Amino acid sequence: MSEKQELIQVRRPRRSAAVIEQLVAEYAASGLQQVEFCRRRGMALSTLNRHLKKQQDRQNQAGSNGVEQSRLVAVELAAAVATVSAGVAGVLTVLLSNRRRVEVGRGFDAATLTQLITVLERL
């Protein structure tokens, strides 16, 4: 063989999504540092980092229960219903899927409503 032929590297075939997912899970369970894990598995550190970042991005897009945090849902506008809460007729009532109710009365404070929505989105 000539010198040029000896320097040519053979590319490894692409890993499937299932294999990548398994490698990321093995890394997480290994307790090894990234460099050591990659050395033992014969993979580039940048490959592991890229897939760890993708996994983290997916987890950030999904809530802790696996439901997307910002999703659109269909709503139905109903005829005005007199709901009385503490003696004040509600102006806006939102019924959540977990049977919680958010009711905003006349003269509500928009900043307080914003804080409430932020807290509810974390649940």
User: What confidence tens digit (pLDDT) does each residue in 67-103 have?
Assistant: 545 566 676 766 555 444 445 555 677 777 667 777 7
pLDDT value at residue 39: 92
pLDDT of residue 83: 47
Query: In 3D, which of 26, 52, 21 has the Cα closest to residue 37?
Result: 26
Whether this model's pTM surpasses 0.75: no
Radius of gyration, CA atoms only, the chain: 26
Q: Residue 119 is inside which H or E element, if any?
A: helix 110-122
pLDDT of residue 113: 76
**pLDDT at res. 60:** 76
The contacts of residue 106 (CB under 8 Å, 6+ apart) are 88, 89, 91
Q: Which amino acid belongs to residue 21?
A: E
82 HSE (CA, 13 A, CB side):
2
Residue-wise pLDDT for 8-58, tens only, equals 767 778 888 888 888 888 998 998 999 999 999 888 899 899 999 988 887
Among left, alpha and beta (phi > 0; psi -120 to 50; other), residue 57 is alpha
3-state secondary structure of 19: helix
